[in-house]
Structure 1
Amino acid sequence: MKISMFTEVFLPKIDGVVTRVTRTMEQLAELGHEVQLFAPGDPPAEYAGFTVNRVRGISFKPVYPEIKVGMPTPSIARKIEEFQPDVIHAVNPVWLAAFGVLSAKRRGIPLVASFHTNVPEYTESLRIGWLRQPAAAWIRTLHNQAAVNLCTSGPMVDKATAQGIRNVELWPKAVDTDGYSPERRSRKMRARLTDGHPEAPLVIYVGRLSAEKNLDRLAPIMRKVRERVPNARLAMVGSGPQADDLKKMMDPAFTTFTGYLSGADLQSAFASGDVFAFPSVTETLGLVALESFASGVPVVGARAGGIPFVIDEAKTGYLVEPEDYDAWAERIALLLNDEALRTEMGHTARSEALRHGWRAATESLVDYYQRAIDEHRS
């Protein structure tokens, strides 16, 4: 099968969408399929043996400087004609991937789209709330051109359907359980994450440092945690547009900002925490929670978005009302203080992660591609 894939984000940026795209490309290569990818900014020229077509991108300043908005050019149409895809996959179509939608409709190519970021909700946290309704209408219009629309969690299937998006199906969750493993835990990394206090109980967050992640809530949460666990510390792993503001909010006496980590360092950081705190209310899935599970670390997360689809209450972590800071502190402190409970939950979380491999998720995706192709032929 030949697949033209359009994405709004790709390497060198790292986030859940990029991870989903890269892992999927790796699996598609192993399964013998062909892919051409269109991505904005300055991605690598190839990935997993497939050509990555670079599309000039402009920074989404001042709202989100990390995001590169791809500017479609006539060369894209020529490359599609040369490749002759069986199906087009628009990943999170907003701008560049919207051109993938248009290309599919113009050329009569079967179309699959996937919904990874709830852009209308993000407009509020990014202080461009006036765009919420137009964004929702635009995204609904794009997705309703597709034969199949994919979401990565049950709650988001329901939400997308409620927003008027048709033909919505579940693209199974998946995680790398080889790279992310309890075996990556290290005293050296704990010392780095705790600023030289490796024995201290450690709460960790890994991901983008940006407004839509609701990370400002960790400041009052950690103050309340330390009322219960006085030597508890917080590690913030990642970078993003809110980094400087968060450094001003968090108490430097017990908070460490590592900046961006990747590869073995990132895997070790995940495994070296005691509890993963995930306050975001806008996740469509929350891949970092699955990566924490794979690392044997339980998650305390917001009862919102796709997170309830990931956390099995009191088995792999806890769900908390987003703004109930006392409840957050109680659950985090419970895990920090009870090593046996924490270890048991970590083992259960690891077992859960082992059930969700990338091969099965990608085979499911290929089935959806084939459905779109078959429907187009009929």
Structure 2
Amino acid sequence: MRIAIFTETFVPALDGVVTRLRSTIDELLKIGDEMLVIAPSYGEGPAYYHDVPIHRVAGVPFPPYPQIMLAPSNPRVGRALKKFGPDLIHAVNPFVLGSGAPFYAHRMGLPLVASYHTNVTTYARYYGMGLGERAGRWWTRTLHNRAQVNLCTSETTRKYLSENGVERLHVWPQGVDTARFHPGKRSPEWRSKLTGGHPDAPVLLYVGRLGREKNIGSLKNVLRAMPGVRLALVGDGPARGELEEEFAGMPAVFSGTRRGAELTAAYASADALVFPSTTETLGLAMLEALSSGLPVIAARAGAAHEVVEDGVSGLLYDPDERGSLVTACRRVLTDADLRARLREGARRSAETKDWETSTRALRGYYEMALAAR
């Protein structure tokens, strides 16, 4: 099968969407499929991912969040598609660049699959764009309803999209690389880095974008209530400067973006992952933590309950109940037996998910779209 993939973000950018897309492409290559990726330009970004060509589209930074590139489609995209000759188009999180996917699918007589990964319209209110939130929901519905098949990453998101008028919805299963993210990657060196040179202290880990929508500031309450506990934040984003000021004088380490062996060691070397976001469509960091044998303490919101089994692989807390987060962190960090059980449950949970199964499900949806066309 020849698949053209429109995506609003791709390498060298690093986020949950890019991780899922890279892992999916890896599996599709094993099957023998051929792909063309159409993605924003990031300066000197690579022209290929493995053997898959990347057609780069010029764009401009999104002002509230400069790491995001707004790259409208242009006639060169059409020429690249015509040269490649796809059997199907997959629009990943269509919004700006991906808005061209329905046009080209119609023009070329191709089936369109669209997948929803990020709650873009909900994020709008965190950046002072309330009007944009209403318009964004209309735009999302309009784009997705031109696809033969629409995918999302959780049942919670499927329900949300259905209530907002998106049709022909299916869930694209979770996946994680359990060989890469493994408890055996624990590192004394990284334990020391995460704790700011206090490796014997309990340490909570946050991994992800440093953005206003992630509710990271709530973690200050844990550090105030539990003297001696350390917090390590791995990632970057538009709110990093604000957060560094907020956490000034507290036992918090900002490690920046980490990749490869550094990232896997960070997961395996902490005591628990804290995930305070209430706006996630899935939360890939939670899956990577579980695979690393790391208990997850997550807000009972969004799709967290579909990833974390409360009391088995982690603890879910009520983000609206004062003290609930602190109570959950105290339970995990002070009860060694509970922490050991959660570690075992975390790894066991992750072992039921893999990218091969996830990608074979995706390919089934591709075949469904081809049949519908």
Asked if Structure 1 and Structure 2 have the same fold, meaning a TM-score greater than 0.5 normalized by the shorter chain, the answer is yes
- Asked if 1 retains the 8 angstrom alpha-carbon contact of 2:222 and 2:329, the reply is no
Q: Give 2:198's aligned residue.
A: 197
Q: Indicate yes or no: 2:265 matched with 1:264.
A: no
Aligned to 2:57: 55
Matched, 1:316 2:313: yes
Q: Which amino acid aligns with 2:49?
A: Y
Q: Within 2, Cα distance between the matches of 1:190 and 1:280? A: 24
User: 2-side partners of 1:113 and 1:71: how far apart?
Assistant: 17
Which residue does the alignment assign to 2:135?
Answer: 134
Read off the aligned partner of 2:58 and give its amino acid letter. R
Aligned residues: 371
Matches within 5 A, 1:342-361: 342-361=339-358
Amino acid at match of 2:280: E
How many Å apart are 1:325 and its aligned residue?
Answer: 4.0
TM-score by length of 1: 0.96
Counterpart of 1:123 in structure 2 is: 124
Match of 2:48 in 1: 46
**Residue 252 of structure 1: CA displacement?**
3.2
- What amino acid is the match of 1:137? W
Q: Secondary structure at the match of 1:39?
A: strand
After superposition, what is the alpha-carbon deviation per residue over 1:268-315, rounded to whole angstroms, capped at 9, x for unaligned? 001111011101011000000000000000111111111111110110
The aligned counterpart of 1:367 is 364
Give the structure 2 partner of residue 107 of structure 1. 108
User: Map of 1:16-27 to 2, 5 A cutoff?
Assistant: 16-27=16-27
Rounded to whole Å, the distance in 1 between the matches of 2:81 and 2:295 is 44
The whole-number CA distance in structure 1 between the counterparts of 2:180 and 2:314 is: 21
Kept after mapping to 1: 8 A contact 2:158/2:170: yes
- Looking at structure 2, the residues matched to 369 and 216 of structure 1 have their Cα atoms a distance apart, in angstroms, of 41
Contact 2:223/2:250, CA 8 A, preserved across alignment? no
Unaligned runs of 5+ in 1: none
How many Å apart are 1:251 and its aligned residue?
4.3
- SS of the counterpart of 1:106? helix
Cα distance, 1:106 vs structure 2:
2.0
Q: How many angstroms apart in 2 are the aligned matches of 1:38 and 1:80?
A: 9
Deviation, structure 1 residue 12: 1.2
Residue correspondence of structure 1 range 229-268 to structure 2 within 5 A: 230-268=227-265
CA distance in 2, matches of 1:325, 1:182: 32
Superposed displacement of residue 98, structure 1: 1.0
CA contact (8 A) 1:220 1:325 kept: no
Which amino acid in the other structure matches residue 3 of structure 2?
I
Letter in 1 for 2:47: A
TM-score calculated relative to the size of structure 2: 0.98
Structure 2 CA distance for aligned equivalents of residues 159 and 92 of structure 1: 15
Deviation at 1:351, TM superposition (A): 1.0
2:330 to 322, 330, 333: 333
Offset at residue 71 of structure 1 (A): 2.7
- In structure 1, the partner of 2:9 is 9
Deviations 1:23-51 (A, max 9, x none): 11111101100110001022311113110
Secondary structure of 2:178's partner?
Answer: coil
Residue identity in the other structure for 1:351 = R
Partners of 2:62 and 2:69 within 8 A in 1:
yes
C-alpha offsets along residues 138-187 of structure 1, whole Å, 9 cap, x if unaligned? 01000000111001111111111111000000100001111111011111
Q: Within 5 A, what are the aligned runs for 1:264-303?
A: 264-303=261-300
Q: How far is the alpha carbon of 1:220 from its aligned partner?
A: 2.1
Which letter maps to 1:21? L
Aligned to 2:160: 159
Structure-1 separation of matches of 2:322 and 2:211: 20
Letter paired with 2:309: D
Amino acid at match of 1:59: P
Matched ranges for 1:208-247 at <5 A: 208-224=209-225, 226=226, 230-247=227-244
Alpha-carbon displacement from aligned partner over 1:308-359 (angstroms, at most 9, x marks no partner): 1111011011111223341111111111011121111111111111111000
Q: Is the 8 A contact 1:25 1:48 kept in 2?
A: no
Q: What code does the residue aligned with 1:69 have?
A: L
SS of aligned partner of 2:170: strand
Identity %: 40
Contact 1:296 1:347 in 2 (8 A): yes
Measure the CA separation in 2 of the matches of 1:196 and 1:283.
32
Q: Aligned AA for 1:58?
A: V
Which letter maps to 2:302?
A: G
> RMSD of the alignment, in Å?
1.0
Contact 1:7–1:37 (CA<8 Å) still a contact in 2?
yes
Q: How has the CA–CA distance of structure 1 residues 184 and 252 changed in structure 2, closer, same or farther, with 3 Å as cutoff?
A: farther
In 2: Cα distance, 1:16 partner to 1:253 partner? 28
Q: Which amino acid aligns with 2:189?
A: K
Query: Which consecutive segments of 4 or more residues in structure 1 shift more than 4 A?
Result: none
- Structure 1 stretch displaced more, 214-223 or 301-310: 214-223
CA distance in 2, matches of 1:303, 1:341: 19
Q: Tell me the distance in 2 between the aligned counterparts of 1:308 and 1:145.
A: 30
Supply the AA of the counterpart residue of 1:305.
G
